[in-house]
Amino acid sequence: MPCGEAFAGVAALTSSAAGYRPSHLPMSLFVDIGTGAGLASATGVRPVLPPLLAGALARGDVGIDFDGTDFSFLESTGFLGALVAMGVVVFLVERSAANRRSPDLGGRVGRGPVEILAAVVALALGALLFAGALADNGHPAWVGLLFGPLCAALGWLAIGGLVERVRARLAPDQDALLTAYADLAALALAAIAVFVPPLALLAIPAFVVLLAGGRRREGEKYAGLRILR
């Protein structure tokens, strides 16, 4: 009887511990959403560095891990090497575009094919990173595949618009400094997404405010032009 009671006690403890497990799932999901949304948003700001940082951290199981999921390739050597090569190409193309800018245009340039292609890459990588962050702890990856591109698009529109407005006031030879600031912002947001996920969610409303402010200023500018005419 004592052995039977002991086994019963162990079974009860095990059952009790398992009973508490679902209560942690909402918090785990919230944290993973913060990680995924932050990484996707950061990728929208700059498409190469955030996934490179996330993949490097995942290889060391530091804060994030894609191993054991369908997205384990995000931390593979081949994928990270491809990101490095892409980063070099992006850097060279951006420098070439900056050198072709004319000061006579007042620094005003639209988003050309390179920027559009970077946005497409950012949408794809944002989807994969968001899905991978959710799959890391067994959450449905399709949620990330759906909302990752939205977060990346928001980051691209908000920060891209801000960069365009700032670039309009800068000399062409200052483009490199502006790009460096964008790179640092993207890396900082990606690091926050991995290590302080709930804080990364604040980037979403911040991007909305930036985007709304940019739209408002554009409207005021065109209204002023109509008055002058």
User: Which residues of the chain are modeled with pLDDT < 70?
Assistant: 1-25, 97-112, 167-168, 170-173, 215-229
SS (H, E, C) the chain: CHHHHHHHHHHHHHHHHHHHHHHHHHHHHHHHHHHHHHHHHHHHHCCCHHHHHHHHHHHCCCCCCCCCCCCHHHHCHHHHHHHHHHHHHHHHHHHHHHHHCCHHHCCCCCCCHHHHHHHHHHHHHHHHHHHHHHHCCCCCHHHHHHHHHHHHHHHHHHHHHHHHHHHCCCCHHHHHHHHHHHHHHHHHHHHHHHHCHHHHCCHHHHHHHHHHHHHHHHHHHHHHHHHHC
Please tell me the distance from the alpha carbon of residue 40 to that of residue 154, in angstroms, as a whole number: 9
Cβ atoms of 53 and 187 closer than 8 Å = yes
Q: How far is CA 195 from the centre of its chain?
A: 14
Radius of gyration of the chain measured on its C-alpha atoms = 23
Q: What is the pLDDT of residue 229?
A: 54
What pLDDT sits at residue 216?
65
**What pLDDT score does 212 carry?**
87
Q: Determine the pLDDT at residue 93.
A: 83
| CA distance linking residue 134 with residue 111, whole number of Å | 32
Q: How far apart are the first and last CA of the chain?
A: 98
Sign of the C-alpha dihedral computed for residues 37, 188, 111 and 220 taken in this order: positive
The predicted pLDDT at position 108 comes to: 46
pLDDT at 23: 40
pLDDT at residue number 99: 57
Q: Looking at residue 18, what is its pLDDT? A: 36
Contact 192, 200 (CB under 8 A): yes
Question: What is the Cα–Cα distance from 135 to 138, expressed in whole angstroms?
Answer: 5
Q: How far apart are CA 175 and CA 56, in angstroms?
A: 28
What's residue 2's pLDDT?
52
